[in-house]
Chains A and B, each alone.
Chain A
């Protein structure tokens, strides 16, 4: 039994009838699994993961939720501007970001055989920008543009731009170039070729990317208020500091309803736009 268990870690050797010995193929999986588990435990120690604390204090989390349960409906009047700002910021940001991204992504896809240096350098800058969270971008832009929704909108635009360009150029590279070449052979200009041969193929994907950006931006716009870039985030942190859980419950409820409605609408619109 113990022998069998140990044999997991090193390959068995067999002696064949003709006296030759053969070894099984070495299987690294057990070592990988052990290293993985050791790494998880190391990380857990590093970050101070402690399930005892969670068991003891976990009820605080639900206590907080219970305190929010009758949401303070009157608070809606105070927060409605911030809530609408949040939605508007993400809508505007997605629209601007994706609109600029559309022509650029044609430029950045390698199947049009444009300037190679430009393509590589622009893609590199984009992947650097993409790694920055929206909040960091917003806190930087806030220093430049001052407190208000403008900084948040711009941050969201930049973020949508980077995401949309990446998704679009990866998709454009997979399309069928036959129609494009056919139009080129009739002597049409490059712009005309793109409009009538490439755009119909990528149209649906572009709309769906836009909707995806819009959806995820509403969530990130909700926290931009933390760094003073407009939106509902300021209300969340403010009401939490004042321990007004009823008001906080109202904010959370409004956010939940907004995001659910947007998700449902986006799913409906995607079905309509992409297929029909």
Chain B
């Protein structure tokens, strides 16, 4: 009898859900309170909803003039510029992030250096990329170069943070074994460390490329190149069919990159 608890005892052991319920209720109340505090319907006009119809009509009938324009104000040029900004930002960011990740890993550099580097990484990560965009436009002048620098800084922050984790997971036994076999420094890095890191690095970099191309499309707003400026101006000037053409171009570009990078990452992770 005593080996099995009775039903009453079992019921008493059941977790007390009313605590959870109170937490949820308080959270819901807070959300409603914040809603009342923040969101005002002051800007709302009746005309707004008539815009939706016109806008959707523009989005499904993209302007062919923009699509077929091959000059520097055309869609293809701007899309490639957006991609190039994201791509170069990722490459430069990776080049800077790898050494930074190594010196901020606990198993490679002394604790003091780690803390300094990790603080730098956190500070870099805590600003939105458009803020860097503004500062770089002021530094090197407007244009795609400012966009590349912005994306570089943004990528360094995130890539370094992700890489630190994989560097700290390096198995020292493999390096020791190579050492015992009489390998020199280069061989130890090439055959002991690189195989352990490369798949992690590549999958993080591809993931970042996704984000960068998407972010590069808003940088134009501050004058840092890419499709963003034209797109947002088209929306604000209500040139809906131009905006439609650019939106479709952007959607296709981002989807394409996402599909390709997901496929490569899955292949690296050994999934089919």
Q: Which chain A residues have a beta carbon within 8 Å of chain B's beta carbons?
A: 40, 43-44, 46-50, 53-54, 57-58, 60-61, 64, 84-85, 88-89, 91-92, 95, 127-128, 131-133, 135-136, 139-140, 143-151, 153, 219-220, 222-223, 226-227, 233, 236-237, 240, 252, 255-256, 259-260, 263
Contact = CB atoms under 8 A, between A and B. Distances in A.
Interface stretch (B3-11, B110-118, B166-174, B213-221): B213-221
Interface in B215-229: 215, 217-218, 221-222, 225, 228
Nearest to B210: A131
B48 A146 contact: yes
Given A47-B225, A91-B31, A146 B144 contact: no
Given A43-B87, A145-B44, 20 more contacts: A44-B88, A47-B81, A47-B144, A47-B225, A57-B139, A61-B139, A127-B258, A131-B254, A132-B250, A135-B218, A144-B49, A150-B41, A220-B128, A226-B130, A226-B221, A240-B134, A252-B127, A252-B131, A255-B128, A260-B126
A49 B88 contact: yes
Interface of B: 31, 34-35, 37-45, 48-49, 51-52, 55, 80-81, 84-85, 87-88, 91, 122-123, 125-128, 130-131, 134-136, 138-141, 143-145, 147-149, 214-215, 217-218, 221-222, 225, 228, 231-232, 235-236, 238, 247, 250-251, 254-255, 258
Given A48-B143, A149-B38, A252-B127, A132 B88 contact: no
A146 B45 contact: yes
Nearest to A141: B48
Contacts of A49: 88, 145, 148
Contact of A47 (B49, B88, B141): B88
Contacts of B44: 145-146, 150
B43 A146 contact: yes
A82 to B, nearest CB: 11
Given A44-B88, A49-B88, A64-B138, A223 B38 contact: no
A151 B37 CA distance: 15
Contacts of B221: 135, 226-227
20 contacts: A44-B88, A49-B145, A49-B148, A61-B136, A61-B138, A88-B34, A88-B37, A92-B39, A131-B254, A131-B255, A132-B250, A132-B251, A133-B215, A136-B232, A139-B232, A147-B43, A153-B39, A223-B130, A226-B130, A255-B131
